[in-house]
Every structure is written in structure tokens, then in C-alpha cells.
């Protein structure tokens, strides 16, 4: 899985154990237990606070480090992280990507599957088409015309 190195995997399995998936019915429960979900404080229909809980978990910290490592990754997850970083800022993007990695990890271990990067192929192609369309629009707005390289 992109971002997860051997040391990160050792920390995760050392802290969580091999059968942690049975303790959490859904990936959302797992991410919430790690403290990677927003803790919405709502009273009287008004949102008072939307931030993550303070959880001292080595597993959450390892997932945050794995998310931060995706900054230079040339995969769909790396591209997703860079977009979130530009839109949300670095700290929130790291937490959001750690949340996504936790959900992916839970799913892989729950269904006993290997990570398959081909799952993201359709999303990567869609993102590539959006970037190309935006590039054409920007070039047209500046009075240029794009041609494909041979």
C-alpha cells in the first residue's frame, strides 16, 4: 500500500494485534477509535466545534506519518493528498489521508485481500481527463492552443 513502509506496518500490528478487525464492525468505527474522524460538537442545532479528538495512539501517529509520506507519491493516493493539502492545508490533509489509509487498511484485512493499485485506475483516468480539460481551458483563456507531443 502506498505510504505504508515495513516499520509502519510493524507499529500497526504491534499496537493493534493481528485480529483487530474483529473488534470493529465497520471501518468508520476503526477510524473513530484511532481519533482520525471529526468530533462534531453540536448543541441546539448549532455546530460548536469540528475537530478531531486528542487520542494518544501510536497507530494513529503511524498512519499520519504514512499519509505524510504520500506527498511525493506518483499514485492516485498521492495525487489525492496533494489536492487536499492545497485545499485544506497540511495538518488537515494529513489527518484526512490517515483516515483514508485506516479505512483502506481495515477493508484489506477484513476481506483478506492484497492491495491492488488497479482499483484506482478508473479514478486516475478521470482525474487525468479533468486536469487535461482544465489545462485546455487555461490555455484558451490565455490565447494559446495545446497540441499533443509526438
Q: What is the pLDDT along the chain (150 residues), one digit of tens a residue?
A: 888 888 888 998 899 887 888 899 999 999 999 989 887 888 888 888 777 777 788 999 999 999 999 999 888 899 999 999 999 999 999 999 999 999 999 999 899 888 888 888 888 899 889 999 999 999 999 999 988 887
Question: Which set of grid coordinates corresponds to residue 38?
Answer: 471529526
- Consecutive H or E run containing 13: helix 6-16
The domain containing residue 60 runs over which residues?
A: 6-114
Compute, in degrees rounded to 10, the torsion defined by CA atoms 129, 132, 137, 143. Answer: -160
* pLDDT given at position 43: 86
- Residue-level length of the chain: 150
User: Are 124 and 74 part of one and the same domain?
Assistant: no
Looking at the fold, whether 120 and 110 belong to one and the same domain comes out as: no
Closest by alpha carbon to 96, among 31, 140, 144?
31
| Whether 23 and 59 share a structural domain | yes
Strands 46-52 and 38-43: antiparallel
Helix and strand element counts for the chain (H, E): 6, 2
Quick one: 66 and 129 in the same domain? no
Do 59 and 126 belong together in one domain?
A: no
Residue 67 has φ and ψ, to the nearest 5°, of -65, -40
pLDDT of residue 1: 82
State whether residue 89 is helix, strand or coil.
Answer: coil
Q: In this structure, is residue 1 part of a structural domain?
A: no
Radius of gyration of the chain from Cα atoms?
19
pLDDT of res. 75:
87
Instruction: Please indicate, yes or no, whether residues 122 and 109 belong to a single structural domain of this protein.
Output: no
Query: Diameter of the chain by CA atoms?
Result: 62
| Same-domain status, 56 and 12 | yes
pTM: 0.82
Give the three cell numbers for residue 86.
492545497
Q: Tell me, what's the pLDDT at 130?
A: 92
Amino acid at each position: 500500500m502506498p505510504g505504508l513502509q515495513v516499520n509502519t506496518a510493524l507499529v500497526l500490528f504491534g499496537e493493534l494485534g493481528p485480529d483487530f478487525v474483529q473488534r470493529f464492525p465497520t471501518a468508520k468505527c476503526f477510524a473513530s477509535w484511532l481519533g482520525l474522524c471529526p468530533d462534531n460538537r453540536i448543541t441546539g442545532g448549532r455546530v460548536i466545534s469540528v475537530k478531531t479528538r486528542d487520542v494518544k495512539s501510536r497507530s494513529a501517529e503511524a498512519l499520519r506519518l504514512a499519509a505524510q509520506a504520500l506527498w511525493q507519491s506518483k499514485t492516485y493516493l498521492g495525487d489525492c493528498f496533494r489536492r487536499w493539502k492545497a485545499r485544506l492545508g497540511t495538518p488537515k490533509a494529513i489527518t484526512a489521508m490517515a483516515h483514508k489509509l485506516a479505512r483502506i487498511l481495515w477493508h484489506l484485512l477484513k476481506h483478506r485481500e492484497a492491495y491492488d493499485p488497479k482499483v484506482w485506475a478508473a479514478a486516475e483516468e478521470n482525474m487525468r481527463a479533468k486536469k487535461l480539460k482544465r489545462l485546455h481551458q487555461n490555455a484558451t483563456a490565455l490565447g494559446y492552443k495545446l497540441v499533443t507531443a509526438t
